Amino acid sequence: MNEMVRDRQEVIERLKSAEGAIRALGVRRLALFGSFVRETASLESDVDVLVEFEPEQKTYDRFLDLSELLERLLGRRVEIVTTESLSPHLGTHILSEARDVIRAA
C-alpha cells in the first residue's frame, strides 16, 4: 500500500497516474466528492469516489478490483458509489459536489 494521501491535489495526481489501470477495469468516468473535494479530510477520512462503468464492463469482480486498486493507490479506505446507485435524497448533492478526475472518452 502506498503512503496515505493527504489532500485533494495528491488524490487527483495519484488517480491520474493510474488512469490506464483504472480504465482497464471498465471505468468510463471517475469523480471525487466528499471531504477531499471540500478540503475537510482528516487522517481518518475515506476517499469518496463516484464511478460510471462502461455498460458491458460493469461486473461485481471489476467493482472489487477497482476498490482494491484505489485503496492501494491512495493508502486509505475508499467508498465507491456508482451513478446507478445514487439515492434520490443524496444523489443531487453528490452530483453537484463531484469533481471529475477521469472523464468519459
7, 48, 61, 100: the catalytic one is 48
7, 46, 61, 100: the catalytic one is 46
How is residue 58 written as a grid cell? 460493469
How many whole angstroms separate alpha carbon 42 and alpha carbon 50? 20
Tally Cβ neighbours within 10 Å of residue 55.
Answer: 8
Whether 100 is catalytic is no
How many whole angstroms separate alpha carbon 11 and alpha carbon 27? 17
Whether 46 is catalytic is yes
Active site residues: 46, 48
